Structure 1
């Protein structure tokens, strides 16, 4: 029943999201909407006829609710309109297909780093409360929490890119390595559009290694920006859990401290982290726009920035809708996971 209730709530949430995007589109006015489809070479009477045809086609001369249902029908059929940016011009659905895979890989890599580094640091900080290590981790997390993500990116670029030259910090690959490759055309790799995977598929491990090196700095930047909050939440939750009676009882029975911390306390302390992971996903989605732009990483965030700079309504609104849908679905999944971990929330 809990899952059914959450699925029922999901429907009006998605409808509300589409309404918000639709309103944002039409606040720009019909002229900006039509400019996405109007042939710039047309002039005079031919231009006026084309404008009238587009108005009829998009139902812009009808009541706004009719326009909404027409637009929603187009979206549900996969037609998000057209985009015209320096990195891609064509159907928005094609742009999403080309750029979203890179963003997914970047976000997954960052999430993996958060899990492998942030969770252990939060637990270690709580277990070693008020130690030098704990104080260092707290200063580290508070510093990251107070820094804008672009400042973290600039700091890493200067440290690992400019001064030491350890890692590349622009683009997704060294252009000289992919020049002339038949499966890399106009900055897009095929068939998966994820250069690291495509290079492995085609047996070019030099390109694969270089693509991986280009992925590290944006992923680390994104992970550091989100990790600070996870460390703080987990430390506070872990400290509270360690004071619970069942933890004290386990210690009194002689259960090894490592088992108490990692098996008993950590599982309970993770509940607030799971609850807040929806905000983590929101942070990742918001962060990719900045990170991909700073590092010229060709993902959907970078494409969204290009759309913003070029007044590309189709690109901006489609990416807004995609990010919103991902966040809503992620929240649904997390609610279900939380219900599995803690059955009390089902009632």
Structure 2
């Protein structure tokens, strides 16, 4: 094993804790029956062709695999690549669409723009290398199904994986470590939020302490909606929503029913896709299960999340599935409208 590979494996071991509950959960079976990968709480995305207002550029081929999509060396140098009407910082989002073979250049660009949220993007890019290393280390493990390359998705994932491996091989262990291990000073957790030079504003928002129902919680939510960054919303997942016990709160209602909670939770996982996040085979929640378990049935996060929602309801593709999926898509559109309107009140229960 080369020294660089040894260093990356050491970083991998250190990063596993950071991935717990975030990026590593896609290959763990929540039900314990070994039949499907889990979708982590920070789920991130499917082709939003079913969502109202979805941009047509999300429905075609995968631009991330096109060599014409060069990695930008500076954010100002590339203002294309994000879907029309995308929120957040389109220049940072373009880094997630750059060819994976140019991952080091994308990561370094993100790190140079930490004051705009670049550290969050650098961490997401580096996480792909960590997950890829995990799949490599687990290859040949008993019980893992081989990937059937006759499947169209498996072929695309295989091409993606090769490019990603080339990009990750360019990274030095210290670069990977810096991107993955965000210190408290950078997230703002070691001092009053908003007072630290060089603090990543997106990670700072996510980590800001805000007791439910407090004025601080409202201020934090308003700031999140003001940024409306798709990657940040993907990392937050269901944590975007306020809770009352086990119930979610939205549109002035307390949603405590199992079906409603399951549909709304799935919708928060798909919301970032409707706001411009790449949710095809570039999403680790699509390529991860394909590479790790041979499960290449779902080409987008939308397909994967909806299938998981059906399975959680115990009905799979039963008669109720179309209605359940329509309910999830309706929630996605309601959440999308609220985010684009920066309507904090829709996420909070009115007093009394």
**TM range, normalised to the smaller chain?**
under 0.3
Instruction: Please say which structure displays the higher CA radius of gyration.
Output: 1
TM-score normalised to the size of structure 1?
A: 0.24
Provide TM-score, normalisation by structure 2.
0.24
